Amino acid sequence: MVTPFRSNEDLDLEGYRSNIDFYIESRVHGLVVGGSTGEFASLHPDEHKEIIKAAVDQVNGRVPVLAGTAHCATRYTIEMSKFAEDAGVDGLLIVPPFYSKPKDDEIYQHYAAVSKAVNIPIMLYNNPFTSKVDMKPELIQKLSKLPNVTHVKESSSDITRIWKIRQLTNDKLIVFCGADNLAFESFAMGAKGWICVGANVLPRECSELYELAVMKKNLEAATNLYNRLLPMANLLEDTGMFAGLSKAGLDLLGRAGGRPRRPMIAPGSLELEQLKEILKSFGKSVK
């Protein structure tokens, strides 16, 4: 989920709650709050806690809620993770400490400390493009042996890693796809889920792709839908404007988006025109 802001960059909690209802009514299978697209690194800790509490309250048990709780310091990752657990989330999404480029043994000790501090599932998050830390399958195998580590969101864009992780962990670790334009390929390689940026704007269509490919095994219908979704997926991945384009799309649909928090900037006219055409291709009325 994006974190909607008002024009003064304050949280738009009313819009946030409204978006949650929109996603659930569109039959998403779960929500992630405070992740990369949720601009967690730009949130004050009090804001981060506020959106976690608001999500749990608004969802009210209708779908699972994962909370991103990452921080550069282990002690603050633990603090936010324990807060999220007490607030009632169903699991945690944790990218490794960034900026300092920790070594493998430091990453291991980080997750080991967090794992020991909580009693709910942890989804590892390997996103080397933003964190500048690449957790290779061999490290992920080691981390999979920690208590509570049950899933991994793989966003390296190396499709072969899904098979490697599954083999190394004997399918103990459930792999989720973390790239919008590799979803169908990831499902074919054995990914069981998908954390999808485009679902901010096209939640029903993205959920349907998962249902067709993974639940119903209807590969022909899944392929056809995936080809329709790829323009959106490629626009997101090619520009890297995950929060900005998602928020712009929500604004175009008359929902709560707003601008990303500075220093990130809103999409330009070229990206907006592409976004409008994509939404129109799905029969959406845009403002």
Report the Cα 192 to chain-centroid distance in Å: 15
- Decide if 153 is catalytic: yes
Name the phi and psi angles at 174, rounded to 5. -85, 125
Report the Cα 22 to chain-centroid distance in Å: 17
- Decide if 132 is catalytic: no
Strands 91-94 and 122-126, sheet pairing: parallel
Catalytic residue selected from 53, 142, 153, 247? 153
Catalytic residue selected from 16, 23, 111, 125? 125
Report the Cα 122 to chain-centroid distance in Å: 14
Residue numbers annotated as active site: 125, 153
